[in-house]
Structure 1
Amino acid sequence: MDVTSAAPALRTRSAAGRGTLLAAILASGMVFLDSTVVNVALPRLGAELDATVAGLQWTVNGYLLMLAAFVLLGGALGDRFGRRRIFLLGVVWFAVASVLCGLAQGTGWLIAARFLQGAGGALLTPGSLSVLQASFHPDDRGRAIGTWSGLSGVSTALGPLVGGWLIDALSWRWIFFVNLPLAVGVVLAAMRWVPESRDEAVSRTGGHGGFDVAGALLGALALGGITYALIDAPARGAAPAVLAAAVVGLAAVAAFVLVERRRGDRAMLPTGLFSSRLFSVLNIFTVVVYAALGGFTFFLAVYLQNVVGWSALLTGLATVPMTLLLLVGSPRAGALSARIGPRLPLTVGPVVAAAGLLLLRRVGPGASYWVDVLPGVALFGAGLTLVVAPLTTSVLGAVADRFAGVASGFNNAASRAGGLLAVAALPLLVGLSGTGYEQKGALADAYRGALLWCACLLLAGALLAALLIHRPRVKGRAPS
């Protein structure tokens, strides 16, 4: 039977509708939790596993690398082979990898498991939203996606708090083990309530022409090679392996462009999208701003515990105001951008966020949360709130309607790539390597230097927005 023959019919008030929403929200919550709480755990797992700075970087970046490289492929696999099927595969894969992370007995084991976890997330992440898009009646689709977005945001806000409590009360390993009962709940709900669906037009093509494996692998190789070179350079300098990784990464970038150009509209990333200068500029802006976010959160979590002397729970609490501001303020920022255009919010937002980082550079041992940390975090969160919704809307408005999915997916990958590259490069730029994160003086100097770099990235993004970003023009024309 053709699973696409029936129109989507789930209603949000029905048991099946609520069950489908539950599955999507719990699944997204797992991915968001492991994107935010791992930074809080870095000092504890680093001490227990005797990790170097490079080990901590790979613990974060192994996950981000796989998500950034394969999230578009994960969405395409769902369209081809069934969204529920690939979604469930991603959930089980993610859960197994999470258990392996929690059982890790060494840094190498943990990093390998984080790579596996990121691959599972790349299958799971696009599926959680595409299942809602394909399953709900058009009249209820907006309400379903809005509920998913809001409750997933709440899980993001609670993640650092719950994770911090688990780390203090039990062990850092429990931030990974907690995914197992969540995954069981997702699988049971999905098996009972989530209908199967796929893209009928893609499914009829047969073979592998509908998704771009070569593009995904080259993208992963490009990000992986450049990341390896940046992370290993502080300890090994211009060693042959470091230089080879850099060359391979840059060559993979060139090969990726050639492959995508030859595949045309069948590519994972149709290069015609970049005929829109606005789309190109917005994605450069995305990399710059999310690099600042990724670098800031990486250094802040380690600094607050190893220098300021806070617990993991209090460290998790530190960034909650930022997430709450995003939850409450993003709809208003989106409405403002719709009225006045994106240029002003995307210019002012990074400047406000940079001011917050400059305030946070003054935090030192014995700092007060309310006096020393909260003002800077609140400013950073307010600035980010001005950016997120207008940026997403502008990216979608910069391309033809039929490319909305791939444009959104690429922008998501660009944001993860920005964080990935920042975590790889900043320790090199500020001279932090080996076990320097355990030495208060070395870490304090590196933290202040890293936040200055992040503030400069934000100001560069503001300048880019002021000069080159404008209101998207009428949509509907395919890129040439």
Structure 2
Amino acid sequence: MSETANRADRMRWPALYVLCAGTLMIVLDGSIVTVALPTIGSALHFSQTSLSWLVNAYMIAFGGLLLLSGRLGDLIGRKRMFLTGITAFTAASLLCGLSGSQELLITGRFLQGVGGAMASAVTLGMIVTMFTEPREQAKAIGVFSFVAAAGGSIGVIAGGVLTQAVGWYSIFYINVLIGIVIVALAARLFQPDRGLGFGAGADLLGAFLVTSGLMLLVYTINKAEEHGWGSAHTLGLGAASIVLLAGFVLRQAKVSSPLLPLRLFRSRYLWGANVVQILFVAALFGFQFLLALYLQSVNGYSAIETGLAYLPGPIVIAAISLGLSARLMTRFGGRTVLLAGLVSTVAALLLLARLPLHATYTMDVLPAVVLLGAGAGLALPAVIGLAMSGATLSDSGLASGLLNTTQQIGGALGVAALATLASSHAQNLLPSAESAAAASTYGYRLAFGVAAGLLVAAFLLTATVLSSPKALPPRPSEGGTPSDATDASASARSSAGEIPQGPDGGTDPGASSAGAGRARLERS
């Protein structure tokens, strides 16, 4: 092995930790800002309506630019895209901290969303290209999944502490310090990658259609609770976003260098896992949002107490995703682990669907938090592994951006739909309920029950669409030889849970390979 290859091998795990630090900074920022909103509103004299733009401006930019950023990462190089994104996010955080007006802070939040999308869109693509051996890749994805899943709960605690102890501006300044360290380490640890070049897919019209369509869709979802799901505002903007996205799909079917090659969706693992992720994340984000409201508005918890109530969840996620999930995926396959995670999460939401008016934390809340942490720790690494097994190495940045896009859309849709459902049901029951708190509790219970239904649908989809097919003959891909394609096929099947089983139930060592890893599912 050459000296360059040896150095790249040694640097893989430190590079993974830097990627996860960037993801954690971006994830933390969202929940930290949410906790600080009342304080920011008082300091800068935001109205209740205008305050929501601190969330919406970020979500619109982040959700709208993920897919485009993922493809640009494939074209110009993922290292360059990640560094540019973290730099932009850091600079925007400094702008937010220095803001003395509403307009400047909202602008800073929008620019944070742009930088966050650029960095997040290529992270998974970088991970699957650094770790091609199935067992190591499963372990690396487990580390990433822990950061993505647990970061929100950690941010609730950090946001409360920083806002109360220092001031709201400190939640942005902390990003500046972290961002500088990440850029310095990434520039040293990441291996250079040239990218495919703009001639391989610079579809400007397609970029405009998908970016504007996704931005409009995220905006529509976020404003649906304010205007109502059946209002002319929601239906009109929703229809316009669908027209833009439909135009994008038609464009991709005809253009010679598409931004999103439709051949990707020949892989049922890629499209099936993305649909499952939308349903799972909708339920997960809905849980985080609704349980926080229930604990604070019904049971009188403070912001810090609410964050501490969530703390067992990240601990369980860490215990499972930082090692156990990788071993389980290697032994039983990604599909089986995903099904187990969905069962655990359904059980958690069904427990929450019977919450009493005045809950006891250890009896009524803690079991659900633990079960949901276990479900997330199992399901998220598995769904990521299944989805990324359906993309070639050259398309891994795009597949990463697609996964992040469906995650963002699922989260926005879940929070908006479930919050609206809980609120409207509570309003309907208010005249006959014994108190406003009781009506709110019934609303939350209904929403948790619906969230459980979403996960039942995800379970059925996983059991049918993501079932393991029979082995198919290997096909050379991306210029590889037949033997290369066989290695890549074995690696991709291992990530998806399809490697033939040995007599002891473990993976057949002769069937697993550390080949290219992603070519198996891109077939004519």
| TM-score, normalised with respect to structure 2 | 0.73
* Counterpart contact for 1:337–1:390, Cα < 8 Å: yes
Q: Please name the residue that 1:184 is paired with.
A: 180
Q: Please name the residue that 1:250 is paired with.
A: 242
| C-alpha separation in 1, matches of 2:354 and 2:23 | 35
Is the alpha carbon distance of 1:277 and 1:53 closer, same or farther for their aligned partners in structure 2, counting shifts above 3 Å? Answer: farther
User: The residue matched to 2:7 in structure 1 has which SS?
Assistant: coil
| C-alpha separation in 2, matches of 1:272 and 1:17 | 30
| Matched residue type, 2:157 | L
Q: Return 128-137 or 324-333, whichever deviates more.
A: 128-137
Is the alpha carbon distance of 1:217 and 1:428 closer, same or farther for their aligned partners in structure 2, counting shifts above 3 Å? Answer: farther
Q: Please name the residue that 1:471 is paired with.
A: 468
Is the alpha carbon distance of 1:399 and 1:82 closer, same or farther for their aligned partners in structure 2, counting shifts above 3 Å? Answer: closer
* Counterpart contact for 2:90–2:179, Cα < 8 Å: yes
Max Rg structure: 2
CA deviation map 1:188-234 (0-9, x unaligned) = 4445x24672325x23xxx5653444444323322333343344445
User: The residue matched to 1:178 in structure 2 has which SS?
Assistant: helix
User: What aligned pairs does 1:287-306 form with structure 2 within 5 A after superposition?
Assistant: 287-306=278-297
| Matched residue type, 1:447 | Y
Is the alpha carbon distance of 1:31 and 1:53 closer, same or farther for their aligned partners in structure 2, counting shifts above 3 Å? Answer: same
Aligned with 1:389 (options 370, 381, 393): 381
Aligned with 1:424 (options 416, 421, 440): 416
Q: Please name the residue that 2:32 is paired with.
A: 37
Is the alpha carbon distance of 1:154 and 1:377 closer, same or farther for their aligned partners in structure 2, counting shifts above 3 Å? Answer: closer
Q: Return 469-478 or 453-462, whichever deviates more.
A: 469-478
Q: Please name the residue that 2:494 is paired with.
A: none
Q: Does 2:347 correspond to 1:355?
A: yes
Q: Does 2:213 correspond to 1:222?
A: yes
Q: Please name the residue that 1:10 is paired with.
A: 7
Q: Please name the residue that 1:455 is paired with.
A: 452
User: What aligned pairs does 1:58-207 form with structure 2 within 5 A after superposition?
Assistant: 59-102=54-97, 110-126=105-121, 149=144, 152=147, 156=151, 158-190=154-186, 193-194=188-189, 197-199=192-194, 202-203=196-197, 207=198
| C-alpha separation in 2, matches of 1:143 and 1:278 | 16
| Matched residue type, 2:523 | P
CA deviation map 1:291-342 (0-9, x unaligned) = 1112221222333333322222222222232222222213433433443444
* Counterpart contact for 2:74–2:394, Cα < 8 Å: no
| C-alpha separation in 2, matches of 1:160 and 1:108 | 25
Instruction: Count the aligned residue pairs.
Output: 462
| C-alpha separation in 2, matches of 1:132 and 1:396 | 10
| Matched residue type, 1:28 | T
* Counterpart contact for 1:69–1:220, Cα < 8 Å: yes
Deviation at 1:128, TM superposition (A): 5.4
User: The residue matched to 2:409 in structure 1 has which SS?
Assistant: helix
Is the alpha carbon distance of 1:257 and 1:132 closer, same or farther for their aligned partners in structure 2, counting shifts above 3 Å? Answer: closer
CA deviation map 1:365-387 (0-9, x unaligned) = 76443333211111111222231
* Counterpart contact for 1:53–1:432, Cα < 8 Å: no
- Structure 1: tracts of 5 or more residues without a match: 1-5, 434-438
Is the alpha carbon distance of 1:263 and 1:383 closer, same or farther for their aligned partners in structure 2, counting shifts above 3 Å? Answer: same
Deviation at 1:257, TM superposition (A): 0.9
Is the alpha carbon distance of 1:99 and 1:210 closer, same or farther for their aligned partners in structure 2, counting shifts above 3 Å? Answer: same
| Matched residue type, 2:447 | A
Is the alpha carbon distance of 1:185 and 1:385 closer, same or farther for their aligned partners in structure 2, counting shifts above 3 Å? Answer: closer
CA deviation map 1:261-314 (0-9, x unaligned) = 2236x4332211222334332221111111111222122233333332222222
Deviation at 1:117, TM superposition (A): 1.1
Q: Please name the residue that 1:27 is paired with.
A: 22
Q: Please name the residue that 1:315 is paired with.
A: 306
Deviation at 1:93, TM superposition (A): 1.5
Q: Please name the residue that 1:3 is paired with.
A: none
In angstroms, what is the RMSD of aligned CA positions?
4.1
| C-alpha separation in 2, matches of 1:142 and 1:422 | 29
User: The residue matched to 2:468 in structure 1 has which SS?
Assistant: coil
* Counterpart contact for 2:316–2:373, Cα < 8 Å: yes
| TM-score, normalised with respect to structure 1 | 0.79
Deviation at 1:86, TM superposition (A): 3.3
* Counterpart contact for 2:68–2:401, Cα < 8 Å: no
| C-alpha separation in 1, matches of 2:385 and 2:129 | 21
CA deviation map 1:64-105 (0-9, x unaligned) = 443333234334434444544433322231123224444566
Q: Please name the residue that 1:379 is paired with.
A: 371
Aligned with 1:267 (options 258, 261, 275): 258
Is the alpha carbon distance of 1:103 and 1:17 closer, same or farther for their aligned partners in structure 2, counting shifts above 3 Å? Answer: same
- Identity, % of aligned positions: 33
Q: Return 459-468 or 283-292, whichever deviates more.
A: 459-468
Deviation at 1:246, TM superposition (A): 1.9
Deviation at 1:46, TM superposition (A): 6.1
| C-alpha separation in 1, matches of 2:169 and 2:355 | 29
| C-alpha separation in 2, matches of 1:235 and 1:369 | 31
- Structure 2: tracts of 5 or more residues without a match: 426-435, 472-488, 490-519
| C-alpha separation in 2, matches of 1:136 and 1:282 | 20
| C-alpha separation in 1, matches of 2:306 and 2:382 | 29
| C-alpha separation in 2, matches of 1:110 and 1:65 | 15
| Matched residue type, 1:33 | L
* Counterpart contact for 2:295–2:306, Cα < 8 Å: yes
Deviation at 1:416, TM superposition (A): 1.8
Q: Does 2:362 correspond to 1:370?
A: yes
| C-alpha separation in 2, matches of 1:423 and 1:96 | 29
| Matched residue type, 1:396 | M
User: The residue matched to 2:260 in structure 1 has which SS?
Assistant: coil
* Counterpart contact for 2:357–2:438, Cα < 8 Å: no
| C-alpha separation in 1, matches of 2:469 and 2:214 | 30
